[in-house]
Structure 1
Amino acid sequence: MSARYRILQPGDLDGLLNPSQAFGLEVLHGLSEHPKRLSSKFFYDDEGSRIFQQIMGLEEYYPTRCEYEILENNRGDIGEHLRGEAFNLVELGAGDGLKTNLLISRFLEKGMQFAYVPIDISAGAMNDLSESLIKKFPNLTMAGIVAEYFEALKWLSSITDKPSLILFLGSNLGNFSSSQARTFLRSLWNTLKEGDLVLIGFDLKKNIDVMLEAYNDRKGVTAAFNLNLLRRINRELGGNFSLDTFRFFATYNVFSGAIESYLVSKEEQDVYIEAVGQSFHFKAWEPIHTEYSYKYLISDIERLAAKTGFIIEKQYFDQKGYFVDSLWRVRKTG
């Protein structure tokens, strides 16, 4: 069975950094800062993607269930906004396809003409998704891309002029600060055409205990997800992190409206990373910041769309009001 995805190579786009070089540079810069930090975008190697699938099935992790409910109840209405044209269904982050399957199934049932284009940095996640979808939807046109989001979108725009529905599901946008979110969405806007649609998931502000439990699960899966980033540095960059000497910690910042995640050194130690040729000193109980998960008010979402060149077409909520999938249309004139 042939793979239905493409791994972008440096020759596909000018100026594309070798992935391991980019990883090493960001680790070097992040661990040299005060306080130390590592980017959450590097969570998703093959093992990290596998662990995240476990997180999405946890009892405490409500976003997946809420968004599944939203898509199950509103997939027909979402399709009505596509105006009957042939289009690309582009998903930023492949995942396991569980939620996207709801849309694909409805679109195929309605005889809509589209190609499914998942984009993910993990070849393993893309391969798993490809095999799953081939079995479930043998008539589906799929053209996945293994690359960073904007590298893939730039390449895609160079080979097709079809309109797009971009899926940025889960609460991935919440990993960005407000300024980073604006930059990301403006960059996304720049790759899209007038009238293209974007469906974005937002985790809404709610009872603080509910939010904290989602990131401090009893089984420790979220902790393993974070610690896997140190394991990845050891494997790919020749680091000598001892995972037993770090612990995971997550808290909610009421001022910024974000869950903040950290890996905390339990003792004073030095860690050497061969690929960057440098040692990094940790004091006892010194943290590495790994992730922000910002939560939103509806007014925040409305301002964000207006500032980045989009019009909100419709907002889709779960019954508890924990989560919203917001459908935006690109506006480039007027």
Structure 2
Amino acid sequence: MESTTLSATSTFEQDIHEGLTASFKNISSKYFYDDLGSVIFQDIMKMPEYYPTPCEFEILSLQGEDILRKLNFDEPFNIIEFGAGDGIKTRQLLKKLMENQVDFTYVPIDISQKAIQELEANMLDYLPGLKIKSLIGNYFSMMEDLFALQEPGLFLFLGSNIGNYQDPEANDLLGQFYQHMKTGDKLLIGFDLQKNPAVIRDAYDDSQGITKAFNMNLLQRINKELGGNFKKEFFDFYSHYNPVNGEVRSFLVSLKEQEVYIANLDRTYPFRQNELIWTELSKKYTLSEIDILASNNGFELIENFLDCKHYFTDSLWTKQ
């Protein structure tokens, strides 16, 4: 077992400044996942309203052998997971591969060192003998190193993370994947599917306030890491799902006219009463949109693995 800390180039200060001076204020959802944010997200995944986690858990638990057959690897390979989190869903697939005596090395990547440490402990407790080589850092900054690995690769981008990107950004990310993958490498990518809007609404605005706490932690992170003086009691949370375009958009709302000072930037940022800070996009796809997205970025779609409710799919692509 190896654990390597990679120094990612931080753009936190620059992104916060640009986001809070934009005509429509925004904070990128990639900053949700500090140590506390990662813990809160684990709580979100345990909520009964939050269907993506159990749906994907079902797929990886029950269809692991089908996925294995479609990989068509005849030599040792790496399973590289971007934003691994706690790995509970992924270990269902890994368990199935180990039961079939498949020779692979698991390479989980997460920006949170705490999340990686807990992942390693849980994985090795559940799957003794698992070959694991963890990486801590921002996978965007280590793309070249990851794709320089000699063995064939199955790359995991699970949990509907692709839905957090607007179309140009999603295509740019998939283009980076394609550029650095070898011919025959596979990408297993999670997509949340369009469904009853009420189901989606409840998943992203829960009555317990856990999603609100997840968003509010962005302000706490700015306070802690950048010397901000955000006061959480002066902000609220709002989430909206548009079933026409399949987009969930989440916001923090300034409850009063106020100013926030950030010491590291030595800047004061004004807020109007009811002004929004856009924090997250979570797009829901149709199967035809997934097919188009794969094709437009040079991939061949091998198969969509669906849960029993058809709420979610793990879509297997290959680089030809």
Partner of 2:251: 262
Q: TM-score, normalised by structure 2?
A: 0.97
Aligned to 2:314: 325
Q: Which one of 106, 109, 119 corresponds to residue 119 of structure 1? A: 109
Moved more, 75-84 or 30-39: 75-84
Q: Structure 2 residue aligned with 1:179, among 168, 171, 189?
A: 168
Deviation at 1:134, TM superposition (A): 2.1
For residues 253 and 2 of structure 2, the distance between their equivalents in structure 1, rounded to whole angstroms, comes to 41
SS in 1 for 2:147: helix
Q: CA deviation at 1:255?
A: 4.3
Provide, for residues 9-49 of structure 1, a one-character-per-residue CA deviation record: whole Å limited to 9, x for no partner.
3xxxxxx52x2xx1111000011101100000000000000
Q: What does residue 166 of structure 1 align with?
A: 155
| Alignment partner of 1:6 out of 1, 4, 9 | 4
What's the offset of the Cα at 1:179?
1.6
C-alpha separation in 2, matches of 1:188 and 1:278: 37
Of 64, 70, 74, which residue of structure 1 is paired with 2:59?
Answer: 70
In 2, the alpha carbon distance for the partners of 1:289 and 1:255 equals 19
The alpha carbon displacement at 1:137 in A equals 2.0
Q: Percent identity?
A: 44
Over the residues paired in the alignment, what is the CA RMSD in angstroms?
Answer: 1.2
Q: 1:159-308 to 2 correspondence within 5 Å?
A: 160-308=149-297
CA distance in 2 between partners of 1:104 and 1:183 (Å): 29
- What are the superposed Cα offsets for residues 57-88 of structure 1, whole Å, 9 maximum, x if unpaired? 10100011111111111101111123232100
Where do 1:94-173 residues align within 5 Å? Answer: 94-158=84-148, 160-173=149-162
Q: 2-side partners of 1:283 and 1:43: how far apart? A: 24
| CA shift in 2, pair 1:142/1:99, >3 Å | same
Q: Is the 8 A contact 1:145 1:152 kept in 2?
A: no
Opposite residue 27 of structure 1, the aligned amino acid is: I
Shift of 1:177: 1.1
In the alignment, is the contact (CA less than 8 A) between 1:150 and 1:188 conserved in 2? no
The one-letter code sitting in structure 1 at the alignment partner of 2:285 is: Y
Greater shift in the superposed pair: 74-83 or 144-153: 144-153
**Mapped partners of 1:24, 1:178: distance in 2:** 25
Q: Structure 1 CA distance, aligned partners of 2:144 and 2:106?
A: 16
Asked if 2 retains the 8 angstrom alpha-carbon contact of 1:119 and 1:152, the reply is no
Decide which moves more: 133-142 or 263-272: 133-142
Counterpart-to-counterpart distance in 1, 2:60 and 2:132: 20
Instruction: Give the CA deviation at 1:197.
Output: 0.4
Identify unmatched segments of 5+ residues in structure 2.
none
Conservation of the 8 A alpha-carbon contact between 1:189 and 1:308: yes
* AA aligned opposite 2:211: T
- Structure 1 Cα separation of the partners of residues 111 and 70 of structure 2: 29
- Work out the CA distance in 1 between the residues paired with 2:314 and 2:146: 24
- Shift of the alpha carbon at 1:253? 2.5
Give the equivalent residue in structure 2 for 1:48.
37
Deviation for aligned residue 1:327: 0.3
SS at match of 1:90: strand
Counterpart CA distance in 2 for 1:222 and 1:4 is: 33
CA distance in 1, matches of 2:243, 2:67: 34
Equivalent residue pairs, number: 319
Counterpart position of 1:30: 19
TM-score, normalized by length of structure 1? 0.93
